[in-house]
Chains A and B, each alone.
Chain A
Amino acid sequence: MRSRPTVTTKRDRVPNIPEKLFSQVIEASIPSVLRLWEEGDRFFPKDGPKCDDEIRHNKNVGRSYYQCNPHLWQCFWQGGIKKYPSIEIELYGKMYHVTAKSSFDPIGPYSTSPRFYGLYKKKNVSLNVHYGYVVELEVREIPGLSQALLLTDTCRDTFLPQRIYAYSKVKDKRDEGFIWDNFDRNLFIDKFYVSNRQVNEWKILKGESDKIENNREKWPWPALLSLQEQKKYCEFFGKRLLEAKLFDAATMSPSDLKETKPQKIYRPETPWQRDLSKSFLGVARINSDYQLTPLDCQLAEVEGCQEKFFSTDSATWVGIHFGLGYYPESFQNFIEPKKNIKMSSRFYHPASTWHELGTLSSWKGDQTESLPVAFRCYEEVI
């Protein structure tokens, strides 16, 4: 009788060099590591995390705040989300536990504990990435080895498709007004306003740790910097303060997404509806007793709406937020330099004429209590 052929099981192919096995386990864990980093909100426990030095969660903070958020990464690995944190990977029939090492110096203003990440800012020309977070992973079952990785901020901005765009409004709808195009340009616009958390990192990186916002509840709030500081912040990270014409491009939905060179460029009056008169803002202009509904506040956070940070309700066609409402927002404007602020915000009644795309005002550049001004950056990549 012929003998049975020997079956080579996966278990038999386990590399006998620890370094090789280690790199295979790390490689296999990358999708889960990325999920924890990019979709940190999914790991957020119902009763909130237990890491007061890193996160003080409020119900008015949207979960997208926790995406690509180093404080959630820190909280997870120091046991603030589950008691024994690890990423489990099954390989060759065996379970391996990938963990992060707390091998980075404490960041004084945050806490005295060693960090599970280090801030990276481009200091030389080796990488084409301006900033990121260095982490170090190890495998519990293969001691003595570790792997350093750089996590990049993939949650921050979004690509502006290459097409013809319009800037601002026109008095006569038959007038083409100022149109332009971004073919051969790779532009990426921040989805949200720059937050206090991000500005804190900027201050730490430039050696001004003593000037950070210490109130952890305010970390998700929009950072309120002077116009000069807003520009400096963006430049530090290889970006620029958003331009008014880019904001219009990202908020005025094209009538046909597939046609990138249309003969007629429309200028919608709101990010979600071409004609403002048919939206709740138009109705509010006619009816002074108009009662806001929760759906209205999802479209634009205007006066009378409950404040919500990092809300994903009001996404425009490219995926940026707060096309109308929420905070006044500052811009650079090389076409009409004095028109450098979007006034539409939660500080104006829904009937206000500021609530319309392409409607800008002038800002001298200093923050005041009556006019807090948020900002965002964009990046052009060659």
Chain B
Amino acid sequence: MILLILFKVMLSFVFAVVPTHWSYIDAIHEQHEFYKNDEVIVKPKDSWQTLFSLVYIDREFNSAKDCIFYKVPGQELGNLKIKTITSSKNCDEFLLVSGDRQITGIKSLKYSANEERIILDFTTNELKSKKWTILINKNNRRPEKAMGLSSAEFSGAKIIFLAPATKLIQKENNPFLKNDSICHDVNEDCEVLGTSICDRCEGGWYEIPNGCSVGPKFCGKLTCGGKNQPACRRGMTWQRSNVDFECRVNSSFAYCSQGLSIQCEGKKAFCR
């Protein structure tokens, strides 16, 4: 009996240590809508809640994420559950599935998160207090554009730490986008609709200039300026005047090869 208790204590100690692979976190996603930084979570009692998820890259270059679920104390003590899934899935789908790690007997829990770190602070039934500090890598914070800066450093980092391989997640098949599918949507009013996913184009991307500072982009090779091809981007600043670059009125933001002229399809410029 004593051995069993000792084993249980040891086990809870092991599980109460911050997971080592959390030294490689690239981003925090799916943060709870209502919980505020440093406020003890007390509602809704006895329910499972997704606090946030932590995204990282493993040794096999899988993008994994750890979903952090919490069962708010009520009739029973609180429960912290960690589930590793592939980053393209939503944590909410796994809310009621058993976790890969679990810490039971939590009396109170609060957390705070910003761009640089997450602090998870909880107290167990045995009045043991734990404070997990999780640092977020600087990989996805872009350096300032300056002479001498390389594309590798601008897009990622000079060096990228890889977490140990996660055996828990399923590999995704062919996640790349098809050629000519839109990867950065910008509407006719120059409104950018969502972030670019052009990094999911296998063989690059091209832009069809539409007179906006950011034009719509599609997966595929850049071939512009030729007959029946999209026009090439020339820019909206070289004219040195702040005019409205409406394709049919002023198409100087684009150009075609010698001998061809611009024809507009909506606001997009093509060469005919």
Supposing A38-B158, A335-B255, A382-B196 touch, asked if A154 and B153 sit within 8 A by C-beta, the answer is yes
Contact B175–A152 (Cβ < 8 Å) = no
Bound together, the chains give a CA A334 to CA B23 distance in angstroms of 47
Contact B151–A157 (Cβ < 8 Å) = yes
CB of B89 within 8 Å of the partner chain: no
Q: Distance in Å from the Cβ of A272 to the closest Cβ of chain B?
A: 17
What is the predominant secondary structure among interface residues of chain B facing chain A? loop
Supposing A125-B63, A126-B61, A381-B154 touch, asked if A335 and B258 sit within 8 A by C-beta, the answer is yes
Contact A129–B160 (Cβ < 8 Å) = yes
Chain A residue, CB-CB nearest to B215: A184
Bound together, the chains give a CA A149 to CA B157 distance in angstroms of 11
Counting contact residues on chain A (CB < 8 A from B), the size range is 35 or more
CB of A127 within 8 Å of the partner chain: yes
Chain B residues with Cβ below 8 Å from A381 are 151, 154-155
CB of B109 within 8 Å of the partner chain: no
Bound together, the chains give a CA A361 to CA B179 distance in angstroms of 32
Supposing A184-B214, A382-B198 touch, asked if A159 and B145 sit within 8 A by C-beta, the answer is yes
Q: Distance in Å from the Cβ of A175 to the closest Cβ of chain B?
A: 15
CB of A148 within 8 Å of the partner chain: yes
CB of A319 within 8 Å of the partner chain: yes
Bound together, the chains give a CA A176 to CA B153 distance in angstroms of 36
Chain A residues with Cβ below 8 Å from B258 are 335-336
Q: Distance in Å from the Cβ of B86 to the closest Cβ of chain A?
A: 10
Q: Distance in Å from the Cβ of B223 to the closest Cβ of chain A?
A: 8
Contact A128–B156 (Cβ < 8 Å) = yes
Interface residues of A in 231-254 (CB under 8 A from B): 231, 235-236, 238-240
Bound together, the chains give a CA A161 to CA B148 distance in angstroms of 10
Bound together, the chains give a CA A43 to CA B148 distance in angstroms of 22
> Chain A CB within 10 Å — which of B20, B200, B235, B258 has the most?
B235
Bound together, the chains give a CA A132 to CA B63 distance in angstroms of 17
Q: Give the number of A-B contacts (CB < 8 Å).
A: 162
Q: Interface residue count for B (Cβ, 8 Å)?
A: 59
Chain B residue, CB-CB nearest to A378: B151
Q: Distance in Å from the Cβ of A332 to the closest Cβ of chain B?
A: 8
Contact B23–A23 (Cβ < 8 Å) = yes
Chain B residue, CB-CB nearest to A19: B20
Bound together, the chains give a CA A30 to CA B161 distance in angstroms of 10
Bound together, the chains give a CA A336 to CA B257 distance in angstroms of 6
Chain B residues with Cβ below 8 Å from A125 are 63, 175-176, 199-200
Taken residue by residue from 129 to 143, chain A's Cβ proximity to chain B (1 for < 8 Å, 0 otherwise) reads as 100101000000000
CB of A111 within 8 Å of the partner chain: no
CB of B172 within 8 Å of the partner chain: yes
Q: Distance in Å from the Cβ of B175 to the closest Cβ of chain A?
A: 5
Chain A residues with Cβ below 8 Å from B20 are 19, 23
CB of A44 within 8 Å of the partner chain: no
The interface-forming segment of B4-12, B90-98, B114-122, B236-244 is B236-244
Bound together, the chains give a CA A291 to CA B199 distance in angstroms of 52
Picked from B158, B176, B196, B200, the residue with its CB within 8 Å of the CB of A152 is B158
On A, residues with C-beta under 8 Å from B are: 17, 19, 23, 30, 33-34, 37-38, 120, 123-129, 132, 134, 147-159, 161-162, 164, 178-186, 188, 231, 235-236, 238-240, 261, 263, 318-319, 334-337, 379, 381-382
Task: Offer 14 A-B interface pairs, CB within 8 angstroms, sorted by A.
Answer: A19-B20, A34-B159, A37-B159, A120-B61, A124-B61, A124-B175, A150-B159, A153-B152, A158-B148, A161-B145, A181-B236, A186-B145, A188-B150, A336-B257
